[in-house]
Amino acid sequence: MKKILILTTALTGFAVSASAQELTVMSWGGAYGEAQTEAHVKPWSAATGFPAKMVDSDNPATPIKAMVEAGNVTIDVASIEYADAIRLCDEGMLEPIDIAALPAGADGTPAAEDFLAGAVTECAVSTDIWSNVYAYDTSKFTGEAPSTAADFFDLEKFPGKRGMRKGAKANLEMALMADGVPAAEVYSVLETPEGVDRAFAVMDKIKNDVVWWEAGAQPPQLLADGEVALTTAYNGRIFAAAVTEGKPFQTVFDGQVYEYEGFAIPKGAPNPELARQFIAFASTTQALADQAKWISYGPARKSSGPLVGLFQDGKTEMGPFMPTAAANLTNALPSSYEFWVDRDTELNERFNAWLAAN
């Protein structure tokens, strides 16, 4: 009995020592996770003295939901997509965030006006704008190169395996744009059952040649390994692989679907106060501009814009690589959270049934 006691004491000792005040941030891993680590997590830890660590997920919104439902939240801050932030907030899975508690811009503008329209919601603070694009390996296409959304779904013109994110969001929109639907009408088409069928019909054309990815770090790897010829990707990942590793990857912004990404606090987070401090720290004018030094995502504050300059290598101009650069917006679609908040579950279910059917 005594031995058992010692054993349990020893084991609970581990459990206790692990739950000391430490901030845990969950993000998407890879180049993006690294950017947030360098621009936010490390400086915060250095400034406050609290230890902080970064953990990876394919999409942090999913584990948040599972954690809150199982009553077992182990993270303090998560980086999630805009529509997910609103949906999870609606479902009571996130802590509310007070916009007034956020720091004013560097020029003194209050946070409520400094952030881009809608960037701060009831439960989340957007940090950047990122985009779903597709990319290809330039060494694979010596003649004509893919340049439009339609090219991605055209196996005859551009043969080869495709990589796509395993999920409905952004894929359906891109499929419709490839099918000739103007960006402005995509969501009104997608609201009808026929529109959804149409989007799936476009994806049917390449279904047998698709390698589905889940983690954002996979698409550049799939391209580099030659497993796919073209792949959809988060634009920053392709940028990072192309610039830091010198890979011959070309991004196609035609038919891109861009959206906010931001920090939120799951309900029942172990250290909510630290989490709030961290979010305030990581959403200052300078912090947002710093992040853009590491990855090609546009900052969500107006005052951060002018501070964005060179990539951390000190020579690459970031401007043209941002999803919001004028040249990249010719055929681009802002992702509609109103659409996805209500339909995410249904369309993903449909997507998975479609995927499983042979």
Partner 1 sequence: MALPVYASPLEKLWHYIYLVICALIFLFLIAPILIVIPLSFNAEPYFTFTEKMLTFDPSGYSLRWYDLLLTQPSLPTDVPRDAAWWGRVWTESAWVNAAKNSVIIGVFATVVATVLGTIAALGLSRPEMPYRRLIMAILISPMIVPIIITATGLFFFYSSPCALIGWTGLSQYCGRLTSSYVGVVLAHATLGIPFVIITVTATLIGFDQSLNRAAASLGAPPTTTFFKVTMPLILPGVISGALFAFVTSFDEVVVVLFVAAHDQQTIPRQMWNGIREQISPAILAVATILVVISIALLATLEILRRRSERLRGVTPH
Partner 2 sequence: MADISAPAAALTTSDGRPLRAALASAQQRAKRRAFLLVLPLLAFIVITFIVPIGQLMHQAIYNPGFSDNMPRLTQWFADTPPGTAPDEAAWEALALDLRDASEAKTIGTVGTRVNYDLSGTRSLFTSTARKAARFEPPYREAVLAADDKWADPVLWSTMRQVSDAYSLNFFLAALDMTRDVEGRVVAMPEDRQIYVSLFLKTFLLAGLITLTCLVLGFPVAHLLATLPMRWSNLLMILVLLPFWTSLLVRTTSWMVLLQQQGVVNNTLVAAGVVAEEGRLELIYNQIGTIIAMTHILLPFMILPLYSVMRPIPPSYVRAARSLGATSWTAFRRVYLPQTLPGVGAGALLVFILAVGYYITPALVGGASGQLISNLIAFHMQDSLNWSLAAALAGLLLGAVLLLYWVYDRLVGIDNMKLG
The site for partner 2 (CB under 8 A) is made up of 62-63, 65-66, 69, 87, 90-92, 210-212, 225-227, 341-343, 345-346, 348-350, 352-358
For residue 42, the partner it binds in partner 2, partner 1, none, with Cβ less than 5 to 8 A by kind, is partner 1
Burial of 141 (0-12, 13-18, 19+ CB in 10 A): middle
CB of 38 to partner 1, least distance (A): 9
Please tell me whether residue 214 binds partner 1 under the rule CB under 8 A: yes
Please tell me whether residue 139 binds partner 1 under the rule CB under 8 A: no
H helices of the chain, in order, are 2-18, 30-36, 42-48, 61-70, 82-90, 111-114, 149-152, 171-178, 186-190, 193-204, 218-224, 235-244, 272-282, 285-291, 337-356
Single residue of 6, 8, 90, 352 touching partner 1 by CB under 8 A: 8
Please tell me whether residue 72 binds partner 1 under the rule CB under 8 A: yes
Please tell me whether residue 21 binds partner 1 under the rule CB under 8 A: no
Please tell me whether residue 70 binds partner 1 under the rule CB under 8 A: yes
Single residue of 116, 155, 215, 329 touching partner 1 by CB under 8 A: 215
User: One symbol per residue from 163 to 192: x for binding partner 1 (CB under 8 A), - otherwise; what is it?
Assistant: ------------------------------
Nearer to partner 1, 189 or 241 (CB): 241
Please tell me whether residue 262 binds partner 1 under the rule CB under 8 A: no
Distance (Å, whole) CA 279 – CA 265 = 9
Nearer to partner 1, 105 or 220 (CB): 220
Please tell me whether residue 71 binds partner 1 under the rule CB under 8 A: yes
Nearer to partner 1, 217 or 264 (CB): 217
Nearer to partner 2, 89 or 129 (CB): 89
CB of 251 to partner 2, least distance (A): 23
SS3 68: helix
Please tell me whether residue 46 binds partner 1 under the rule CB under 8 A: no
Nearest to 269 by CA among 279, 261, 283: 279
Nearest to 95 by CA among 269, 261, 260, 262: 269
Single residue of 48, 109, 148, 221 touching partner 1 by CB under 8 A: 221
The one-letter code for the residue type at 186 is V
| Cβ atoms of 54 and 25 closer than 8 Å | yes
Helices (H) and strands (E) in the chain, counts: 15, 10
Single residue of 18, 100, 327, 356 touching partner 1 by CB under 8 A: 18
Count residues near partner 1 (CB under 8 A).
26
Please tell me whether residue 37 binds partner 1 under the rule CB under 8 A: yes
Distance (Å, whole) CA 181 – CA 345 = 24
Q: Which stretch binds partner 1 (CB under 8 A): 4-12, 191-199, 277-285, 307-315?
A: 4-12
15's tokens: 């459990």
For residue 313, the partner it binds in partner 1, partner 2, none, with Cβ less than 5 to 8 A by kind, is none
| Cβ atoms of 280 and 299 closer than 8 Å | no
List Cβ neighbours of 236 (8 Å cut-off, separation of 6 or more).
Answer: 31, 32, 35, 130, 295, 296, 297
Distance (Å, whole) CA 225 – CA 161 = 12
For residue 212, the partner it binds in partner 2, partner 1, none, with Cβ less than 5 to 8 A by kind, is partner 2
| Cβ atoms of 340 and 190 closer than 8 Å | no
| Number of C-beta neighbours around residue 154 at 10 A | 15
Binding site for partner 1 (CB under 8 A): 7-8, 11-12, 14-15, 18, 24, 29-30, 37, 42, 53-56, 70-72, 74-75, 214-215, 217-218, 221
